[in-house]
Amino acid sequence: MRHMDCHEERIHVCGKIQSFGYLFVFDRNEQCIAASENVEKHWRRPAHDFIGKSITELLDFLLPKHSEHFHHFRDEIADPVFNRFVEKVELDGHDYYVSIYRCGENLYLEIEQSNGFDLRQTKLHYYAKHLERGGSDVWKSLTQLIKEIIQFDRVMIYRFKEDKSGQVIAESINNNLDSLLGYRYPEFDIPKQARALYKEFLARHTADTDGPISPLVQSKEEEIDLTHCSVRALSPIHLQYLRNAQVRASASFSIVVDGELWGLVTCQNLLPKHVDLAQRHACLFLTQYAVNYYLSTRLKQETQYIEMTSQLEGELKEELWINNDLLATFNKYAHRLMNKLAADGMFIGNEEEKLSFGEIPAAHHITIIKQLLGQQQENVFATNKCIYREDTKNEETLFPGVIKVDLIPNSSWTLLFFRKEHVVEEIWAGKPEKITPDTLAGHENYPSPRTSFAAWKQINEGASLKWEQRELLFIERIALLVQQSIAKKAGEIQRLNEELVNANNTLDTYSYTLTHDLKNPLSAIRLSAQMIQMKPGLSEEFLKRCSTNILDAVQLMSEMMEKMHEEFAATGSVALRPYLIDPTAHILSIVETAKQEHGVHHLHFELGEVYPVLAERTLLFQLFLNLIGNAIKYSGKEQQPYVKVYSRINDAYISYFIEDNGIGMDLKSNNDIFEIFLRMPNSTGYEGSGVGLSIVKRIVNRLNATIAVESELGKGTLFRVDFVRPR
């Protein structure tokens, strides 16, 4: 016959009751469907006589002197917080506790003996203070208090580890017992379904491992859930486990932290002993109080750690933002970082530069570690187990504990922290192996619990102390600081580059504007001077007109140079002082000068209606200078060159049009005609540098205007400039 394994045992539906209590179970209609067989011993009626009776009938029969106390039990068990009705009663000269509660669709009535324990309220204050005085050793204080309440030989705190095994971390024992402090217990000592039950129902106990147990007498064969039953008998496997440990009575109280089963308060007594309901409730209360104190202490420690590390983070952040040298920065803070992480050594570097501090693995092992950890996707990866095996047997010191940090994404910059091997001698309460025999006398379908609890030692090597979660969070923040500082510097570099490009563009514009736009006033000066030289005996009126032209040109040059200087100095941010300007005189002057400069004496120029615009005088002159000058230049080789300038007005804009019948442009090529130095392919043979239209675009932007162009090869060009209409 196949033996049942521990994890297969359905302990919550065992159908057995301990001898110190009695159980009745009712269906959703409050009709009795089960009663423990031992009720006949106390009430002189067989259990099956109670089947089918209502809970009201049973309370009147079982507790005739106290039935009126139970009239309101339904209200109490309906409360989601206080969902168990409890009343202390006297039966045949003895005290009993009566409990009524629901589990699933069924209603349960438990009656169990009291051992006379009475918890005075003044004691609660003493117990709370005792736990608080325990400080960091709150669990030791808890074992002392629970031992005082239940008077057991041994009370210990059993904490579950990550691998589901357990370890005794605190205990209070009688002097005649050997200490189990630090002892380890394997996972299979408390199987999975037992842990689930402990999380659901927080207090369990058995008064006598060899005491009689009573089965349930039921109306029909079905499994009745005894998850919340205080008088439920323990499983045969667990009872045998306790006998093998030479224990006759036991109790346990669940320690639940953050919704998970953190550990157990495990109590053992060498002789039978009943822990009544009041004692169990007191022990649960103290256990929860200890949990709350533990959580508040842990939170305080975490807060203190964050405060200490925050100061270091702030200093490191400031240094990173000031200093461009990562190695220099980490060289300055290496030992403080190692201290906060309890690390033995640190390495930082890339393929070309590196630094190390404290004790670290050999160089070739660091190379292996970086290669292995380079396969990890996490930005911060930690392990406490040795990941490199090559030649480790010859190493005097191993460093299994490693934190790997990728400081800069997509780069070889790596930060490593190391911890030395921490060799641990573990003591197990018996060798952690499970043996299932072929047969077990007197039992069928029955697994074998461990029989030996003799100390068994095991040496654990090849691992370091584990990195704590708060340490990993700290180093994640450090990595983020580095990345933020790099990003900030990259942003600053980009901004500086953009400013440099803008400055260079402004410088180019300044330079080319001077060399380009000053040609027109210089031409006027040159022409006036040539006329004075070539015509002796000039009239005073002619000389006055020439000198006026020269002075106007000089004034214009001076204004253009001053304006460009202001723009260059302020990188385009100098404020304009616009006012209404009638550009007629500018236009006519530009036309006459351009005709002379480009030799287009047969030009047919037409000036249409001209409206004043809101602009700045010098910039407006430069704008028309380039547009009208280009129109005259590129139409000058036509047989009948033609240029027309006119304006139109609407509600939003005053639009100026400069129209010519020159060589035109191919706008389908998607070239940006306003790009500096760009000349169209058909402009060969015409003087120019490709600067004029880029100056036009810049001026249009400065005047808060817009510009558009229509053109066709060989058929001329039309520029349209829209100025915002003044209000």
Give tens-digit pLDDT for 31-67.
999 999 999 998 999 999 999 999 999 999 998 888 7
Task: Dump pLDDT digits (tens) for 83-118.
Answer: 889 999 998 889 999 999 998 899 999 999 998 887
Mean pLDDT value of segment 138-157 = 94
Residue 89 near residue 96 (C-beta atoms within 8 A): yes
Percent of the chain exceeding pLDDT 90 equals 38
Average pLDDT over residues 222-244: 88
pLDDT score of 1 more than 50? no
pLDDT at site 71: 76
- The answer to whether 450 and 433 are in contact (CB under 8 A) is no
| CA 584 – CA 612 distance, rounded (Å) | 9
Residue of 159, 146, 132 lying closest to 256 (CA atoms): 159
> pLDDT-based confidence at 417, cuts 50/70/90?
very high
What pLDDT, on the 0 to 100 scale, is given for residue 520?
Answer: 62
Cα dist from 591 to 470, 632, 684, whole Å? 79, 8, 23
For domain 323-419+468-517, the CATH class is: alpha beta
CATH topology for 11-113? Beta-Lactamase (3.30.450)
Given a cut of 60, whether residue 504 has pLDDT beyond it is: no
Residue spans of the domains in the chain: they are 11-113, 121-299, 323-419+468-517, 576-724
Residue 537 has pLDDT above 70, yes or no: no
> Sorting pLDDT into bands at 50, 70 and 90, what band is 352?
confident
**Is the pTM of the predicted complex or chain greater than 0.85?**
no
Mean pLDDT estimate for the chain? 83
Q: Specify the pLDDT at position 627.
A: 94
**Best mean pLDDT range from 188-192, 264-268, 446-450:** 264-268
- Parallel, antiparallel, or unpaired: how do β-strands 106-113 and 94-103 relate? antiparallel
Task: Answer whether residue 395 shows pLDDT above 80.
Answer: no
Least-confidence region, from 282-296, 385-399, 493-507? 493-507
Residue 505 has pLDDT above 50, yes or no: yes
Residue 308: band (very low, low, confident or very high) from pLDDT cuts 50, 70, 90: confident
pLDDT of residue 6: 47
The CATH H-level (homologous superfamily) assignment of domain 121-299 is GAF domain (3.30.450.40)
**pLDDT at residue 572 in the model:** 45
Range of lowest pLDDT (106-120, 220-234, 359-373): 359-373
The predicted structure's pLDDT at residue 235:
83
pLDDT for residue 303: 85
Asked if the domains at 121-299 and 323-419+468-517 fall in one CATH topology, the answer is yes
Average pLDDT over residues 515-519: 58
- In single-letter form, the type of residue at position 505 comes to N
Give the position of tokens 């003493």: 126
Sorting pLDDT into bands at 50, 70 and 90, what band is 129? confident
- CB contact set of 371 (below 8 Å; sequence gap of 6+): none
- pLDDT (0 to 100) of residue 153: 96
pLDDT at 444: 44
Q: β-pairing, 401-406 with 414-419?
A: antiparallel
Q: Give the highest mean pLDDT range of 78-82, 628-632, 667-671.
A: 628-632
pLDDT at residue 661 is higher than 50: yes
Model confidence band, residue 559 (pLDDT cutoffs 50, 70, 90): low
Q: What is the pLDDT of residue 499?
A: 56
| From 278-287, 367-376, 469-478, the region with the lowest mean pLDDT | 367-376
Contacts of 523 (CB under 8 A, 6+ apart): 593, 596, 597
279 Cβ partners below 8 Å, 6+ apart?
115, 117, 119, 149, 150
Q: What is the CA radius of gyration of the chain?
A: 48
Q: Are 252 and 143 in contact (CB under 8 A)?
A: no
3-state secondary structure of 544: helix
Give pairs for 525-532: CB < 8 Å, separation 24+.
525/549, 525/550, 525/553, 525/554, 527/593, 527/596, 528/553
State the SS3 of 191-259. CHHHHHHHHHCCEEEECCCCCCEEEEEECCCCCCCCCCCCCECCCHHHHHHHHHCCCCEEEEEEEEECC
Higher pLDDT, 701 or 670: 701
**pLDDT (0 to 100) of residue 528:** 66
- Report pLDDT for 301: 85
Q: Which of 387, 390, 395, 417 has the alpha carbon at shortest distance from 404? A: 417
Query: What digits encode the pLDDT tens for the residues 312-330?
Result: 888 888 888 777 788 888 9
Percent of the chain's residues with pLDDT above 70: 80
Residue 503, amino acid: A
Please give the pLDDT value at position 573.
46
Q: Which fold has domain 576-724?
A: Heat Shock Protein 90 (3.30.565)
Residue 50 DSSP symbol: G
pLDDT score recorded for residue 266: 95
Element (H, E) at 53: none
Give the confidence band of 453 by pLDDT, cuts at 50, 70, 90.
confident
Do the Cβ atoms of 198 and 11 come closer than 8 Å?
Answer: no
